[in-house]
Structure 1
Amino acid sequence: MKAYIVGVGMTKFEKPESRDWQYWDMVREAGAAALADAGVDYGLVEQVPVGYCFQASAAGQRAAYELGLTGVPVYNVNNNCATGSTALMMARQFVQGGISDCVLALGFEKMKRGALGGGADGGDFKTSPVARHYGIMAAGHGFEMSPPTAQIFGNAAREHMERYGTTAAQLAMVGAKNHRHSADNPNAQFQDVYTVEEILAAKTIHDPLTKLQCSPTSDGAAAALVVSERFVVRHGLHDKAVEIVAQAMTTDTADSFGGSCIDVVGKPMTAAAARQVYEASGLGIEDVDVIELHDCFSVNELLTYEALGMCADGASGALVESGATTYGGRWVVNPSGGLISKGHPLGATGLAQAAELVWQLRGEAGARQVPGAGVGLAHNIGLGGAAVVTLLRR
């Protein structure tokens, strides 16, 4: 069976503690927007997967109850930074497997200010789910006082520079591009535009990464209504429907732990998920027009170019420098501003990517619209690890 997204919604992503609201307020806003977008009443929703990382167990129920008290199953989903896309994948599986005709995927996060710790709980590294990942980093690079996630990605950037000659300026170009894109996104946490020189001159978080190349902590929520083909026909939703053509999730294999930070932050997982999606859909990266990918740090955007097959290994710095990943280029990557500028409330990120792509494929993205967008790809990754790649088509 086919699965379609017929409604999407999100809140504006904001700096933590900048607005007096609770996580259920965020979910009510985003979920109601998705239902209104589709013109579907919550009473028709049969199942509700809810993604988040930082709230207590059963917070998904507390949030979903804001939309209605219908007694349907609510699932609490936590897959680190890939949580939002994991909730979307569950919704798609319920529909594609013939279990349900209408499923609402929700994702939210209410975060604390400051850098993330080594995992969603920010706890003791010895017992952390990502202790093995950080052990690989420490063996090759040591362990410093900078934020742990910035360290592991910053060390991946150092390896890429040493191995392929990637430059600090090319890394900064990713940040400049995504900040420039977010200027046209009213839902983005930041809408300021910076030059490459300004990004290079910003505060260093972990060399070579500066503050303007790192995603911020954020508050926010996003939602997507996923339905079957018969639901689309029954409710006359053809004009709203965007097909989930293929989707795959992968987790770590032995390739992740061979000793390189490039691998431990997820490049092999992404490459494997992309291969599965291309094989299942019969489409390739050459068929894609617009991409929302997980640029938690600028280096991860470059690594993802390579993992998705947009360029050869080591050629991603040259690719972003060529202008191939912005308006007027071969693809438009992160027209929303990406995690770096749009923001990164962990549980909402993957669903916000889906929302952006749905708007792009419907031609509803306003000033940031990608001309002629017909196929979109989303990539969402979390250390620990999980990588989800989703291919959407109008």
Structure 2
Amino acid sequence: MTDKVVVAGVGMIPFAKPGRSETYDVMGAQAARRALADASVDYAAVAQSYVGYVYGDSTSGQRALYRLGHSGAPVVNVNNNCSTGSSALWLARRAVASGQADVALALGFEQMTPGAPGSVWTDRPDVLGAFAEVRDRVAGVPDPGTPMAATYFGAAGQSYVEENGIDPATFAHITVKSRKHAAANPYAVFRAPLSVEEVLASPHVYGPLTRFQCCPPTCGAAAAVLVSPEYARKHGLRADVVIEAQSLVTDGPTTFEGDLRRLVGYDMTAVASRRVYEESGVGPEDIRVAELHDCFTTNEFLTYEALGLTPEGTAEKFVLEGANTYGGQVVTNPSGGLISKGHPLGATGLAQAAELVWQLRGQAEGRQVNGVRVALQHNLGLGGACVVTLYKKVDG
């Protein structure tokens, strides 16, 4: 296994509301072409591709990549719920690190429909059945028609409110911050500013969550090209951003013991991030820019503590003092995050990767965080999987 894998190129397309995008195959091909062009790599050089999406027929990855050519190289389709994009990245990184491929492509896309996503297969066991049993036992059975994901993350946020005695309006500040960041991102869906009052006045969804605190269904695509350091040197490719450490974990027994925060991935996040910190020698105190999985404001809030960016029980102070934005301790979701940039499920993890690579290169324009040398990515999927990735800028 090589110590480092180079992120030679990244690419994405502007995210869009359902019904306003190209089809998934067109979007996927566009993002892949942009990443390959950014890397100065021909598609014919790609030895393996990992393509992520949640809603789509089998071999949708081939449908998208065949628009680039018929190379005969393996294409592996990946579905890991909302952590699908970063799971594809994890697989591509392992292919390069192990020496199986000098060049690997990770691609993610999603063509979503309006409204909250739900289960497609209703004639078989629900993949979240065990999670629903814990939620219903602890928080009560939600009203029919309540968006499924909101019931989990809303209940987790409410649990934190009750245990720590914080003002639930604190969560709304995260949306306000998200919109400010997205205003400088041409790829984001929602770029207009919002006040705390406007966020709180939007329709109630579940628990402390209102509509503007929930990520929207989104269409989009993003991609990354990974290469070995040797390949980059041989072909004169840009090699100043590497994946320094990465961890993918799934649920342990604590998920189902009755703590609603653990039910939505707190422990997965803590375990994955701890492994990444140990592998890289970088601690949470060193992080100045991070892309976090803010599917709901409550989850971004909980993730601050799970990643160790602030001690347990202090996230409210972290938010209200502006430690999570420019001029503070760490700029979280400079892209606008899932809440404002959008959340095309299969593309999200790779869109996060693109943003952080641009930050490390100094190419993030109006979103740029000055002087960053390391960047942290957190991508979570209920059901469950969590991927934490640490990127590093290297000299030479």
Shift of residue 170, structure 1, vs aligned partner? 1.0
Partner of 1:49: 50
Partner of 1:90: 91
Secondary structure of 2:347 counterpart? helix
Secondary structure of 2:134 counterpart? helix
Partner of 1:13: 15
Partner of 1:249: 248
Partner of 2:78: 77
Distance 2:124 2:147 in 1: 16
Provide, for residues 144-201 of structure 1, a one-character-per-residue CA deviation record: whole Å limited to 9, x for no partner.
2311111111111110000012222210011110111001000001111101111111
Distance 1:285 1:342 in 2: 25
Partner of 2:125: 127
Shift of residue 16, structure 1, vs aligned partner? 0.6
Distance 2:117 2:206 in 1: 14
Q: For 1:97-176, what aligned pairs fall within 5 Å after superposition? A: 97-117=98-118, 121-124=119-122, 127-143=125-141, 144-145=143-144, 146-176=146-176
Partner of 2:339: 340
Task: Letter of the 2:66 partner, please give it.
Answer: Y
Do the aligned residues in 2 keep the contact of 1:8 with 1:223 (CA within 8 Å)? yes
Task: Letter of the 1:345 partner, please give it.
Answer: P
Do the aligned residues in 2 keep the contact of 1:153 with 1:299 (CA within 8 Å)? yes
Shift of residue 217, structure 1, vs aligned partner? 0.5
Secondary structure of 1:93 counterpart? helix
Partner of 1:212: 212
Task: Letter of the 2:300 partner, please give it.
Answer: E
What number of residue pairs does the alignment pair up? Answer: 389
TM-align CA RMSD = 1.1
After superposition, the Cα gap between the structure-2 partners of 1:320 and 1:125, relative to the gap in structure 1 and judged at 3 Å, is farther
Secondary structure of 2:169 counterpart? helix
Secondary structure of 1:7 counterpart? strand
Shift >2 Å, 4+ stretches: 121-126
Which deviates further from its counterpart, 314-323 or 78-87?
314-323
Do the aligned residues in 2 keep the contact of 1:247 with 1:389 (CA within 8 Å)? yes
Secondary structure of 2:173 counterpart? helix
Task: Letter of the 1:199 partner, please give it.
Answer: V
Provide, for residues 17-54 of structure 1, a one-character-per-residue CA deviation record: whole Å limited to 9, x for no partner.
123x2111001110000011111111111000000010
Distance 2:158 2:124 in 1: 25
Shift of residue 125, structure 1, vs aligned partner? 9.5
Do the aligned residues in 2 keep the contact of 1:303 with 1:316 (CA within 8 Å)? yes
Do the aligned residues in 2 keep the contact of 1:125 with 1:131 (CA within 8 Å)? no
Shift of residue 66, structure 1, vs aligned partner? 1.2
Q: For 1:1-394, what aligned pairs fall within 5 Å after superposition? A: 1=2, 2-19=4-21, 21-117=22-118, 121-124=119-122, 127-143=125-141, 144-145=143-144, 146-238=146-238, 240-394=239-393
Do the aligned residues in 2 keep the contact of 1:232 with 1:241 (CA within 8 Å)? no
Distance 1:65 1:87 in 2: 18
Shift of residue 207, structure 1, vs aligned partner? 2.6
Distance 1:267 1:166 in 2: 19
Shift of residue 140, structure 1, vs aligned partner? 1.1
TM-score by length of 1: 0.97
Do the aligned residues in 2 keep the contact of 1:137 with 1:260 (CA within 8 Å)? no
Distance 1:236 1:287 in 2: 31
Secondary structure of 2:222 counterpart? strand
Task: Letter of the 1:227 partner, please give it.
Answer: V
Secondary structure of 1:352 counterpart? helix
Secondary structure of 1:346 counterpart? coil
Distance 2:121 2:325 in 1: 38
Shift of residue 124, structure 1, vs aligned partner? 3.7
Provide, for residues 100-140 of structure 1, a one-character-per-residue CA deviation record: whole Å limited to 9, x for no partner.
110010000001100122xxx34449711111111110111
Distance 2:129 2:218 in 1: 24
Shift of residue 233, structure 1, vs aligned partner? 0.4
Do the aligned residues in 2 keep the contact of 1:170 with 1:318 (CA within 8 Å)? no
Which deviates further from its counterpart, 303-312 or 75-84?
303-312
Distance 1:388 1:122 in 2: 25
Task: Letter of the 2:282 partner, please give it.
Answer: L
Distance 1:289 1:84 in 2: 23
Secondary structure of 1:9 counterpart? strand
